[in-house]
Amino acid sequence: MNLALGLIALALLLLTGAVLLRRRTGLPWARVRSEDVRDHHAPERPLYARRYGLTGRPDYLLERHGHLIPVEVKPSRSAPKPYPSDLMQLAAYCLLVEETSGQAPPYGLLRYADTTFRLAYTPAVRAELLATIEAMHEILDAEDVARSHEQAARCRGCSLRGECDDALE
């Protein structure tokens, strides 16, 4: 009898912990397949898409209704609508899930301090992401890039300052 009561108490404790975790993170009820938010001694390998030159690891990967759903958490951010850069980051995680699992997720989740946004991973979102990746690769591959030297603090912190003929100060 005492063993049964102990097991019931343990089950209630675990359930309470799960409920508190879901409330704090804003995550839906789903199996967590991986996470990148705790300090792990042996972190899981990042997702990698060779043909796009893209690597990353979402904060969570949920398994829901047979799909892997990437989740990005920005706990200190609060805004009425998501930042476009955060949406592109989440779209990149969707592409990485698609490339590594062979199945595109229907959506990704972006969690701010008090709101969870849902990004539908549509062909239009995918096309916008691929255009952004292509533009980034073109800039990275360019030999002569016009740089902005209007912000002295940014110029001072640049890793190429020692090689730049246009450095301020």
What are the tens digits of pLDDT across the range 30-40? Answer: 556 555 555 54
Helix (H, G, I), strand (E, B) or coil at 50: helix
142 confidence band (pLDDT: 50, 70, 90): confident
Q: Is the C-alpha dihedral spanning 54, 60, 61, 64 positive or negative?
A: negative
Look at 149 and 68; give whichever has higher pLDDT: 68
What letter would DSSP give residue 66?
T
Query: With contact defined as beta carbons under 8 Å apart, do 129 and 91 qualify?
Result: yes
Q: Which two tokens stand for residue 168?
A: 């301020």
Of 1 and 75, the structure prediction assigns the larger pLDDT to 75
pLDDT of residue 41: 43
Q: What sections of the chain are H helices per DSSP?
A: 2-25, 84-101, 123-141, 152-156
* Dihedral, 131, 112, 81, 53 alpha carbons, nearest 10: 0
Q: Tell me: pLDDT of 149 over 50.
A: yes
Say which residue, 109 or 148, is predicted with more confidence: 109
Work out the average pLDDT over 58-87.
Answer: 92
